[in-house]
Amino acid sequence: MDVIEIPLAKPFSVLISVCGEATAHEMHVDAIMPAHQHGLNYAPEVSPLGDGKFRVDDLLFHMPGLWELQADVDIGGRSLSYTSEITLK
């Protein structure tokens, strides 16, 4: 597993791959800070790259602390959600 440093209060991008029998065509990405009960100040832009791959641009974590990055994907008419915890110092 690669460790990357996410910049605080600066936009960044991520690549997300969805694996499975059906190809994902749509994805929505958001992030929240559970301790503060708020989310991102700006909506990230999600671009499908094909073959279940997506590029997410303009993510910006404006505060240090625990963030939950959430990806909702539509696969063959089913909606699936994935959450990843990220702690910024």
**Residue from 64, 69, 66 nearest 81 by CA:** 69
* Confidence band of 25 (pLDDT split at 50, 70, 90): confident
Whether 36 shows a pLDDT value over 90: the answer reads yes
- Report pTM: 0.86
Average the pLDDT over 27-51 and give the result.
Answer: 94
Name the CATH topology of 12-88: Immunoglobulin-like (2.60.40)
How much is the pLDDT for 1? 46
Q: Write down the domain spans for the chain.
A: 12-88
**Residue from 55, 51, 89 nearest 71 by CA:** 55
d(Cα 17, Cα 9) in Å, to the nearest integer? 25
Whether 63 shows a pLDDT value over 80: the answer reads yes
